[in-house]
Structure 1
Amino acid sequence: MDERDWLILHTLYLEKNITKAGQTLFIAQPTITKRLKQIETELGVKIVNRGVKGVQFTPEGEYLAKRAEEVLNIFREIKEDIENFQHTVSGTLRLGVSNFISKYKLPALLKQFKNMYPDVEFQVNTGYSKDIFNLVYNQVSHIGFIRGDYNWPDEKYLLFEEDLCIVSKDEINLDNLPNLPRIDYRTDQLYKQLTENWWTEHYSQPPYIAMSVDQGDTCKEMVLNGLGYAIMPSLFLQNEKDIHKIYLKDKDGNKITQKTWIFFYEESLKLNVVKAFVRFIKELDIYHL
């Protein structure tokens, strides 16, 4: 069995469908089917059964599929070590990036880094910060861009800190806030907890949620069109002038903020590409990028 065989087993186990696995791997379905039969012949076991509900793994097949991730990680580590022996900044940099950063900061950031180190390739996973935390913790990603104060056991670096604001098209009175239409959007749990804690400190009744949308950009557009107020980090409003902002403050009058970090393992700095990227990030003003 070679690396591609292990990748087929791993992907098929995740997808439970040969057609979907082929689409993910850009491999034709007959090729996957043929290769599965060859693996079965080589090992002398039945790996999968095909039915109307898709692929079902035998006990032997499930064992192989679960071990496939370990084998693929070994292949990846070997490749990274070999590339590192050359003392050049090259290879694949694996990044986990929170949704907002991936949309507004990452493209320009990667372009600059690629201009400096043209032999570097990128593997990027995006999502909510909790998911990115897990990717870095499990070493699927070398570095994670994470918003919020997660408890990280190794190296981290603060990129910037944002104020949290009540934003509206027109001026509003905070005393009347519970009666005004609020627009919420899907976001990280830690951020939601910050805003909920602030609310319960200041009001005894729940907010009037008029709309719940999927993205912060959509929420901002609703606010700009006078459809309600929202609570958002200041970076969302970086280029907006025609908007009213009230900064959230705790009972002691201190501004409530959200921090954005990079998380990584110190051990990963042994890789030239990771070391170069961390150094590159520390020299940037990412907030104003």
Structure 2
Amino acid sequence: MDQKDWKILKILHEEKNITKTAEKLFVSQPSLSYRLKNLEREMETDIIFKTKTGIEFTSEGEYLVNYAKEMLQRLQVLKDNINDMSEEISGTLKIGVSSNFAQYILPNLLKSFSNKYPKVHFNVSTGVSSDVYRMLNDSSIHIGILRRDYQWHGGRKHLLNRESLYIISQSEIDVMKLPEYKQIDYKTDSSLKGIINHWWLAEFASPANIEMEVDRLETCKELVKSGLGYAIVPEICLKEEDKLYKKEVESKDDLTVKRDTWLMYNADYENLVIVNKFIEHMKSWGNIK
């Protein structure tokens, strides 16, 4: 087994599909199948078997996948440590970022960090917070920026920011009568949905009148700007030039409803200079956002 085999096993275990794995690895399906057969001959055991929905791993295959993930992690630590030996801060920083944070905050954040350390390169993966959490557990990223607090055993985490949620509309509306207005909903991660739903159930006896459901927060905002309804959104997406009516979401006891942003990383990486510098940079986010 070598590095290519480790990567094949890791991705195949994630996808459970030969075709999708071949596409991700930029190889042909026959070439991938041939390599897997050779690996099975080398290990003298079956690694995978076909099912109606794709493929599954044998117990021996699961063992090899765990080995492959461990070896890929060790290889990355080796590369990171070699880069760390240089007096000048350089190398590739792998970051997993919650989608909304990636859209509204990350560009300026990376630009300001790059201005300080121009020889640092970035490998950025985005998704909902649960995706980023999975990447952290797989050790496929150095640092995760999440919009939800997860139990993170053996790792480090810092609360970076607490932001308000806002009710937005084209013109002023009576917040006490929200169920009577048309709401525009959007796809987001379950943690934000949970915060909004928990607040709604505590405030109103009737459900929201959802007129439209869209796949992106920005699409939702544009529809609100057109006067087609109101929305409940995180502060992170709001700008003065939007020129929208906005009202901070508050509970009956006059407490504002907040959403947290967390920085999480594996303790194994905290001795890397490139990671430490980015952590310092993130902690000052309040001054650069």
Bin of the TM-score, shorter chain as denominator length: 0.7 to 0.9
Q: Distance in 1 between matches of 2:50 and 2:200?
A: 53
Q: In structure 2, what is the equivalent of residue 7 of structure 1?
A: 7
Q: In structure 1, what is the equivalent of residue 274 of structure 2?
A: 273
Moved more, 139-148 or 177-186: 139-148
Over residues 58-90 of structure 1, what are the superposed CA-to-partner deviations in whole Å (9 max), with x where a residue is unaligned? 664454344322222222222223333335423
Q: CA deviation at 1:110?
A: 2.2
Q: In structure 2, what is the equivalent of residue 96 of structure 1?
A: 96
Q: CA deviation at 1:35?
A: 3.3
The one-letter amino acid paired with 2:283 is K
Q: In structure 2, what is the equivalent of residue 119 of structure 1?
A: 119
What pairs with 1:2-151 in structure 2 (closer than 5 Å)?
2-47=2-47, 60-151=60-151
The answer on whether the counterparts of 1:99 and 1:128 sit within 8 Å (CA) in structure 2 is yes
Secondary structure of the residue aligned to 1:221 is helix
Over residues 213-251 of structure 1, what are the superposed CA-to-partner deviations in whole Å (9 max), with x where a residue is unaligned? 222111111111111111112222223442111211122
Q: CA deviation at 1:195?
A: 1.9
Moved more, 46-55 or 141-150: 46-55
TM-score scaled by length of structure 1: 0.85
The answer on whether the counterparts of 1:163 and 1:258 sit within 8 Å (CA) in structure 2 is yes
Residues 41, 280 of structure 1: CA spacing in aligned structure 2 closer, same or farther, 3 A cutoff?
Answer: same
Q: Distance in 2 between matches of 1:136 and 1:275?
A: 16
The answer on whether the counterparts of 2:104 and 2:237 sit within 8 Å (CA) in structure 1 is no
Q: CA deviation at 1:197?
A: 2.6
The answer on whether the counterparts of 1:87 and 1:272 sit within 8 Å (CA) in structure 2 is no
Over residues 138-191 of structure 1, what are the superposed CA-to-partner deviations in whole Å (9 max), with x where a residue is unaligned? 533221112244455553334333221111112111232211111111222222
Q: CA deviation at 1:260?
A: 1.8
Q: Distance in 1 between matches of 2:108 and 2:88?
A: 23
Where structure 2 has 5 or more consecutive residues not aligned to the other structure, the ranges are none
Q: CA deviation at 1:270?
A: 0.4
The answer on whether the counterparts of 2:170 and 2:227 sit within 8 Å (CA) in structure 1 is yes
TM-score scaled by length of structure 2: 0.85
* Structural RMSD (CA): 2.9
Q: In structure 1, what is the equivalent of residue 184 of structure 2?
A: 183
Moved more, 275-284 or 220-229: 275-284
The answer on whether the counterparts of 2:136 and 2:265 sit within 8 Å (CA) in structure 1 is yes
1:235 aligns with 2:239: no
Q: Distance in 1 between matches of 2:58 and 2:242?
A: 61
Residues 265, 22 of structure 1: CA spacing in aligned structure 2 closer, same or farther, 3 A cutoff?
Answer: closer
Q: CA deviation at 1:116?
A: 3.0
Q: Distance in 1 between matches of 2:9 and 2:132?
A: 25
Q: Distance in 1 between matches of 2:214 and 2:258?
A: 23
Secondary structure of the residue aligned to 1:22 is helix
Matched residue count: 288
Residues 241, 32 of structure 1: CA spacing in aligned structure 2 closer, same or farther, 3 A cutoff?
Answer: closer
State, as a whole percentage, how many aligned pairs show the same letter: 40
Where structure 1 has 5 or more consecutive residues not aligned to the other structure, the ranges are none
The one-letter amino acid paired with 2:129 is S
The one-letter amino acid paired with 1:281 is M
Secondary structure of the residue aligned to 1:183 is strand
Q: CA deviation at 1:203?
A: 1.6
Q: CA deviation at 1:18?
A: 4.0
